[in-house]
Amino acid sequence: MFLICADVFSRGFYSKPLPRVPEFVGYSIVAIVFLQMANALRRKKLTRADAFLEFLLINRPVSAAIYNAIFHALGAVAFALISYGLIPDALEAYQTGEYFGQQGELVVLVWPFRAIMAFCATITTIEFVIQSLDYLRKAITDEPDHPDAKTGRPKGWLATTALVAFLALGALILSPELSSIVIALMLILAMLVLILAGMHIGTVMILLSFVGTWFIRDDFDRAVNLLKIASAGAIQDQLFGVIPLFVLMGMLVNIGNIGRDTFDVCQWLLQRILGGLGIATVIANAIFAAITGVSIASAVVFTKVSVPPMLEYGYTPRFSVGVVAGSSVLGMLIPPSLLLIVFGVIAEVSVGALFNAAILPGILLSLGFCLAILAMARWMPDFVGRLRIPDVSRAPSSWTRKPPHSETPMSALIKMTPITVLVVTVIGGIYGGVFTPTEAGAVGALFALVIVCIKAVFTPDLISFRKFWKVLIDTGHVSVAILFLIIGANMYTRMIALSGLPNSVIDLLIAAELGFYSIILVYLLIVLIMGMVLDSVSIMLITLPLILPTLAAFNTDLIWFGVVTIVAVEIGLLTPPLGLTVYVVKAALGNTQIKLGEIFKGAFPFVLVMVVVTALLVVFPALTEITRGGF
């Protein structure tokens, strides 16, 4: 953050950038990911679809332990292969004195970065082994699952046998003698099965892509070399610094209670409108999204901020949590957005152009949510609640702070100043061409830190060294989870391209005489179905390498396609059984009587709005072109 901000300052005021900042940041990003990998694994921060494992854990704990033992053993194999490729690479960089920079100006040796990667890959391998053995110990020593009354076998034996049989069958069938297309299709099927079964998504991609490359080329060393290249080079670019920087900014904004202040002001302005608290939540979420780019952060903040006053003023629990879950997805569409960044990286298109194109769709989706709330408040009072206008003479007994309806224009202005400064700085800087999205993340994070420090002068308990350290740790965990997936996806994309599968898919679609919109419809249906069981980033990483070559044959506008993809993928955050945002809202609520099913039901109207907006974007691509050129 400080290095990039210093570069921006030097370039802006002295017309001279600091030497080698992009290269240093690029190498650092890779090292940072590997430095945090083992810790993120131990704290269970690496991304996995754990719905099935959670079911086993509750109903068949021994089977769950066996599954985890196998998955962590496979993870150890994946990182052992990475270590096998990176250690010689680090030694070679040391022996040759490889560097980046220019002699006589600034030279930075490469081997320390490579050594960190190799060492930490080894440490992560050991951590996978430790956890695998721990789960195996649990499976052996813990009380076994109670036997099934009919068969006498332990409960869960079928699930465990099925996993072992699946892995054994795959090992027997796979052979270099098979065509590369068949190998790729088999591994894609295996990838989906293992992901749904609960294996870490990044390790699934890395391990199976390695196996695919090995069998397609029938060359073990070449597969290891490809794995090494993907591990070291997939995210070795300053562009990827935008992910931890925007996450850091979002975390600082969260700890500074900026989201709460935004909601207070919106509620004060809209309190007399029927359904006004719901609309205030949507608007506050939209503003909050413009500086965070992470829907999970919005879900956590507004669950704590919006739900209590909505319940106090007569909104039903179902609607109160539903509007928070529904509107929190705005964080992944309204720029800056992490999903837009991930799409830009995978599709190799301009992140800035994606940000520009997403402005109007983001506004349109926010407006759709507000209109839906007004309609539901008017014609579905039993769903929304028997609302009452806030009584300005007293504060609700459940509130521990001054009620927002007692705001004054001056207090509202003061509360909105920090977020206004951040929005103008970040969004204005990007669209004004002052700095790149990565630099915007650094400047925004610095401004957010300054704002939190200034607010801490008036609120001493706002931040402490312990809280700030937790912000850094949480930023690292979120960043490594995303960047690790991108490393795995890079390997997966290379394997898919090597197999020739994308060209076969194109030929098949041409032979089937499917039109462009038919292909888009099939793609969106697949994304919606996958959204029920997988997280957003994983869906994009799995589907885009297959669909992008097909779209190239139609000269598709990938900026438009990216925005459509983000909206469609985000629907999965609200649909069962996974519905990540719904689970986040449930966790943020704490121990309440609001059941998970109620949150899904409350979010359903917002799912319908998102489906309508997706259809509008498909039918009217111009909605993504109006703001394409910036301001």
In a domain, residue 150? The reply is: no
Bridge-based pairing state of the strands 106-109 and 99-102: antiparallel
Domain end residue (candidates: 197, 218, 236): 236
In a domain, residue 147? The reply is: no
Check whether residue 283 and residue 327 sit in a common domain: yes
For residue 589, what pLDDT is reported? 78
Query: What average pLDDT does this structure show over 376-397?
Result: 67
Instruction: Check whether 524 has a pLDDT greater than 60.
Output: yes
| pTM of the predicted protein model | 0.81
In a domain, residue 629? The reply is: no
Tens-place pLDDT, residues 496-510:
888 888 778 777 777
Check whether residue 287 and residue 368 sit in a common domain: yes
In a domain, residue 148? The reply is: no
The pair of structure tokens assigned to 44 is 């269970």
318 vs 146 pLDDT, higher one: 318
Query: What average pLDDT does this structure show over 594-609?
Result: 89
For residue 294, what pLDDT is reported? 66
Query: What average pLDDT does this structure show over 315-328?
Result: 90
Check whether residue 225 and residue 269 sit in a common domain: no
Residues of the domain holding 321: 240-624
In a domain, residue 518? The reply is: yes
Return d(Cα 242, Cα 318) in angstroms, integer: 36
Preceding peptide of 437 cis, ω within 30°: no
Tens-place pLDDT, residues 402-438:
454 556 778 878 888 888 888 888 877 877 778 887 8
Domain end residue (candidates: 186, 207, 236): 236
Half-sphere exposure at residue 247, Cβ-oriented, CA atoms within 13 angstroms: 22
For residue 456, what pLDDT is reported? 87
Q: For residue 402, give every residue at least 6 positions away whose Cβ sits within 8 Å of its Cβ, in sequence order, or none.
A: 395
Check whether residue 341 and residue 481 sit in a common domain: yes
Mark out the alpha helices in 500-627 (DSSP H runs).
501-511, 516-531, 536-552, 558-571, 580-589, 596-619
For residue 155, what pLDDT is reported? 60
Check whether residue 403 and residue 467 sit in a common domain: yes
Instruction: Check whether 555 has a pLDDT greater than 80.
Output: yes
- State the helix-helix crossing angle for 317-328 and 276-292, rounded to 10 degrees: 30
Check whether residue 177 and residue 50 sit in a common domain: yes
Instruction: Check whether 388 has a pLDDT greater than 60.
Output: no
Return d(Cα 542, Cα 205) in angstroms, integer: 9
In a domain, residue 609? The reply is: yes
Write the CA distances from 247 to 147, 189, 254, 410, 601, integer angstroms. Answer: 47, 33, 10, 31, 30
Number of domains in the chain: 2
Domain end residue (candidates: 187, 206, 236): 236
Percent of the chain residues topping a pLDDT of 90: 21
Check whether residue 170 and residue 271 sit in a common domain: no
Return d(Cα 355, Cα 112) in angstroms, integer: 35
Check whether residue 301 and residue 203 sit in a common domain: no
Check whether residue 288 and residue 230 sit in a common domain: no
Tens-place pLDDT, residues 147-158:
655 555 666 667
Residue type, 418: P
CB 602 within 8 Å of CB 323: yes
Least confident span in 177-181, 301-305, 369-373, 379-383: 301-305
Tens-place pLDDT, residues 610-623:
999 999 999 999 88
Provide the Cα torsion 244, 584, 328, 307; round to 10°. Answer: -130
Check whether residue 190 and residue 327 sit in a common domain: no
Q: What are the residues facing 154 on neighbouring strands? A: 147
In a domain, residue 15? The reply is: no
In a domain, residue 515? The reply is: yes
Check whether residue 267 and residue 380 sit in a common domain: yes
Check whether residue 318 and residue 245 sit in a common domain: yes
Tens-place pLDDT, residues 215-227:
988 888 888 988 8
